[in-house]
Amino acid sequence: MKIICRCQDVTEEEIIAALRQGATTIDEIRRLVRAGMGSCQGRTCRRLVSQIISRELKTPGSEIYPPTFRPPNRPVSFSLINAELDGHNDNEDDGGKK
């Protein structure tokens, strides 16, 4: 058993099974088996997943589209989020004075 995505413990066999179910892109693999959805956001496994897709579907690597990135594409600590929210409570009633 070869681990491809260390963050989510996704194996090569799971990725191949997803391809046999009809997945053809890195995004579809991500949705089916969660490869690339861990704390590194695919920075360590994206290339490996792409190589597996290329090999199994006999598609040139240049034809495999990169995955869609959605913010945050880097892990953000809760302390940064809390710092932004401190003092910015939109639920307070200001009597219509804004």
Kindly state which CATH superfamily the domain 3-85 is placed in: BFD-like [2Fe-2S]-binding domain (1.10.10.1100)
Q: What is the pLDDT of residue 63?
A: 86
Q: What is the pLDDT of residue 29?
A: 95
Each residue's pLDDT tens digit in the chain (98 positions)? Answer: 899 999 999 999 999 999 999 999 999 999 999 999 888 888 889 999 999 999 999 999 888 877 776 665 667 788 877 876 776 655 555 555 54
* Spatial distance between the Cα atoms of 53 and 48, rounded to a whole number of angstroms: 9
Query: What is the residue extent of each domain of the chain?
Result: 3-85
Predicted TM-score (pTM) of this structure: 0.67
Q: What is the pLDDT of residue 90?
A: 55
Sign of CA dihedral 70, 75, 76, 77: positive
Q: What is the pLDDT of residue 70?
A: 65
Four-CA torsion 65, 67, 69, 70, nearest 10 degrees: 120
